[in-house]
Amino acid sequence: MGFDTSVVVAIFFVAALILGTSAYSTISMADSDVDDASEERFKMEFARLHTDLEITGVDNPDNTSLIISMTNTGSRTIDASCLSVLVDGALREYSYDPPYTWTPLEDYEISVALPVENEHRIKVVTENGVADYYVYMSI
C-alpha cells in the first residue's frame, strides 16, 4: 500500500468521522425536540382531562343581553379571561365580574350583549379546548 493510498484512506476515515458526528448531532437534536413535544402534549392532555364546565342556565333580564350561568365541574382553576363564547357559531365578546379565576365547583356568570330573539345555540370554550353547549329559546 503506497503513500497515496494511505492518504486517501485517512481522508475517507476523517470524512466518515465528521459525517458520523454531524449525523449524531442532528439525530440527537431531533430526538430532543420529539421528547419536548411529547412532554408538552402530555401536559395539555392532563389539563384537558382535569378541566370541565357545565352551562347551568341562560337568562335575559333586559332583552339586550344573555347572562350565562356556569359551574366549573373540573378539578382545575379556569381563567375567566381566557374563555371563548360562541353564539350561533359567531365569536362574541363577553363581560364578567371579578374574581377572574374560577375555582372547581364554583358557579360563575358572564354576560353577552346580544339582541335576544328566537333560538340561540351557545358554546363556551375554555383555554384548552374543553367546551359545553346550551340551546336558549326566548319566550
> So what's the architecture of 52-137 in CATH?
Sandwich (2.60)
Average pLDDT (59-67) is 84
Taking only the tens place, the pLDDT of each residue in 93-133 is: 999 888 888 899 999 999 998 776 778 899 999 999 999 99
Average pLDDT (41-55) is 93
Beta bridge partners of 79: 101
> What gap in Å lies between CA 89 and CA 122, rounded to an integer?
8
Under 8 Å between Cβ of 72 and 105: yes
Under 8 Å between Cβ of 111 and 96: yes
Q: What is the percentage of the chain residues whose pLDDT exceeds 90?
A: 50
Q: What is the mean pLDDT of the chain?
A: 87
Q: Break the chain into its structural domains and give their ranges.
A: 1-49, 52-137
